[in-house]
Amino acid sequence: MKTLKDAGLVADRRDGRWIHYSLNAETLGDLQEFLGTIEERAAKLKAARCCQEEKKSSGQLYGFSIF
């Protein structure tokens, strides 16, 4: 819980000997947006690598380039 509090994802409120925790919706939204951006970039990178591998494999014969 300390790590989540330090990251700002969780807020706490003391009530006597009890501690009530709640999610910080704004920070959680920022995290979701950040992770979505990473996911999109990873998909684009994967697609680019796939195309590069196809180009390499189609232009080679026994490890030697045709051109």
Say if 46 falls within a structural domain. yes
Say if 55 falls within a structural domain. yes
Q: What pLDDT score was predicted for residue 63?
A: 55
Percent of the chain past pLDDT 70, that is, above it, reads: 75
Encoding tokens for residue 43?
A: 């998909």
Say if 3 falls within a structural domain. no
Query: Can you tell me the distance from the alpha carbon of 5 to that of 31, in angstroms, rounded to the nearest whole number?
Result: 14
Tell me the pLDDT band of 67, cut-offs 50, 70 and 90: very low
Q: What pLDDT score was predicted for residue 60?
A: 53
- pTM listed for this prediction: 0.47
Q: Do residues 23 and 29 lie in contact, with contact meaning Cβ atoms separated by under 8 Å? A: no
Q: How many domains does the chain have?
A: 1
Domain residues for the domain of 47 are: 25-61
Say if 19 falls within a structural domain. no
pLDDT digits (tens, 9 = 90+) for 16-64: 999 999 999 999 888 888 888 888 888 888 888 876 665 555 555 555 4
